[in-house]
Amino acid sequence: MNANPHVAVVGATGAVGVEMIKTLEQRNFPVGKLTLLASARSVGKKLKFRDEEVAVQELTKAAFAGIDIALFSAGGSISKEFAPVAAKAGCVVVDNSSAFRMDPEVPLVVPEINAADVKLHKGIIANPNCTTAITLMALYPLHHAFGCKRIFASSYQAVSGTGAKAIAELERQVDQIVKGQPVTKEVYPHQIAFNVLPHVDSFLPTGYTKEEMKMENEGRKIMHHPAFRASVTCVRVPVYRSHCVAVSAEFEKPVSVEAARAVLKKAPGLDLVDEPENKKYPMPLFTSEKYNCEVGRIRLDCALDNGLCFWVSGDQLLKGAALNAVQIAEELVKG
């Protein structure tokens, strides 16, 4: 890999694409050249990178010649169509969609957990689901220490996980309600302002949603833990940014709050914020625009043997998407 790679961001004008560009700059990623790709309607739009204006170009199959790393965040159908083309052109794709996550040929990576899997790529590396990534930042260190058998979890997912249009929808609905106007909805099936929707992604015949099953399926692959089980309810909440997850985990070995805290304190990419007596615990308000996830509300689970409850919060546009993708690119450059 070129020490100063030519990097492309696909879906550059979307909520995650914008964060990818910012993250490349903030982390001083050694970008030799930056190419921004998006659909025809965004062509010519300029985005700032290192005090320069970079014009968006049209995503075409010929666009990947000479590009070393392409960070994709333009949705699953675009990834399916263009990622194999980019890989064929000699580019390494880091894909943020769900298109390739469960493909046995494609590594699914959270660098703090399974960075070594990056080396197994055949041109495409998958970025995990945002809720899964944020949960595993706290769960994996505990699994490593105590052996996690299963979890029961509920997510509290911000609207920016759906994209820029969902952020605008929440803003508009709050304004409509405050002004006593009728509420209009386009993105979600129900009003999201002052409401919660126990519905993220599409429903499966089991009654779970696709999003809910990602925790078990992707968790097994990332942690190299095929017996891992996860029963999850994913909920959309009227918060702009940062997902939270309430987790009850059952372990093979006995676990104490003190031992769990000691493990979590040392975990990379994670901050322990657990002082309930001082009203300090992780919240979206404080994890937004922050690279590290936060974990708190750590207590023994009173309904499980060797069980532990915790609450984790993280910026799903960053650790759940853009930051994780750039960290994978950093692993690629390390070689």
Task: Express each pLDDT in 231-288 by its tens digit.
Answer: 999 999 999 999 999 999 999 999 999 999 999 999 999 999 999 999 999 999 999 9
Closest CA to 329 of 15, 14, 31: 31
In the chain, where are the structural domains located?
Answer: 6-128+321-334, 132-316
Catalytic one among 91, 148, 243, 244? 243
Closest CA to 325 of 118, 41, 66, 138: 118
Distance CA 231, CA 154 (A): 9
Residue bearing tokens 């990534």: 133
What are residue 234's phi and psi, to 5 degrees?
Answer: -100, 130
Does the structural domain 132-316 have CATH classification 3.30.360.10? yes
Output the pLDDT for position 143. 98
What are residue 288's phi and psi, to 5 degrees?
Answer: -60, 135
Same fold, 6-128+321-334 and 132-316: no
Let me know if 243 is a catalytic residue: yes
Tell me the per-residue pLDDT of 171-191, one tens digit each, with 9 for 90 and over.
Answer: 999 999 999 999 999 999 999
Tell me the average pLDDT of the chain. 97
Distance CA 169, CA 187 (A): 7
- The share of the chain scoring above pLDDT 70, in percent, equals 100
Encode burial over 53-81: b for 16+ CB neighbours within 10 A, e otherwise.
ebebbebeeebbeebbbbbbbbbeebbee
Distance CA 292, CA 284 (A): 12
Catalytic one among 91, 130, 244, 309? 130
Query: In the CATH hierarchy, which top-level class contains the domain 6-128+321-334?
Result: alpha beta
Q: How confident is the model at residue 163 (pLDDT cuts 50, 70, 90)?
A: confident
Burial of 266 from C-beta contacts in 10 A (0-12 / 13-18 / 19+): exposed
Tell me the per-residue pLDDT of 80-119, one tens digit each, with 9 for 90 and over.
Answer: 999 999 999 999 999 999 999 999 999 999 999 999 999 9
Residue 164 has pLDDT above 90, yes or no: no
Which own/partner contact pairs does 115-124 have at CB distance under 8 Å and 24+ positions apart?
115/331, 118/328, 118/331, 118/332, 121/92, 122/87, 123/84, 123/86, 123/87, 123/88, 123/91, 123/92, 123/93, 124/83, 124/84, 124/87, 124/92, 124/93, 124/95, 124/100
Q: How confident is the model at residue 1 (pLDDT cuts 50, 70, 90)?
A: confident
- What is the reported pTM? 0.96
Q: Which tokens belong to 45?
A: 């739009």
